[in-house]
Amino acid sequence: MDKKMEKEMNAQINREMFSSYLYLAMAAYFDAESLGGFAQWMKAQAIEEMAHAMKFYSYIFDRGGVVTLDAIEKPEGSFKSVQEVFEKTLDHEKFVTKNINNLYSLAQKQNDNASLIFLEWFVTEQVEEEKNALDILAKLKYVGDKGQGILMLDKELGARPMPTLASLLGQVTDEAGA
Contact, 135 vs 141, CB < 8 A?
no
What pLDDT is attached to residue 169? 72
- CA proximity to 101, closest of 136, 65, 125, 133: 125
- Asked if the structure places residue 59 within a domain, the reply is yes
What pLDDT is attached to residue 178? 41
What pLDDT is attached to residue 173? 43
Provide the domain limits for residue 15: 3-168
> How many domains does the structure of the chain reveal?
1
Q: Pick out the chain residues at pLDDT < 50.
A: 172-178
What pLDDT is attached to residue 172? 41
Listed in sequence order, the residues at least 6 apart from 101 whose beta carbon sits closer than 8 Å to its beta carbon are: 123
**Global pTM?**
0.89
- CA proximity to 158, closest of 44, 49, 40, 73: 40
Listed in sequence order, the residues at least 6 apart from 19 whose beta carbon sits closer than 8 Å to its beta carbon are: 46, 49, 52, 92, 96
94: domain CATH number is: 1.20.1260.10
What pLDDT is attached to residue 174? 43
- Asked if the structure places residue 174 within a domain, the reply is no
- Asked if the structure places residue 127 within a domain, the reply is yes
- Asked if the structure places residue 64 within a domain, the reply is yes
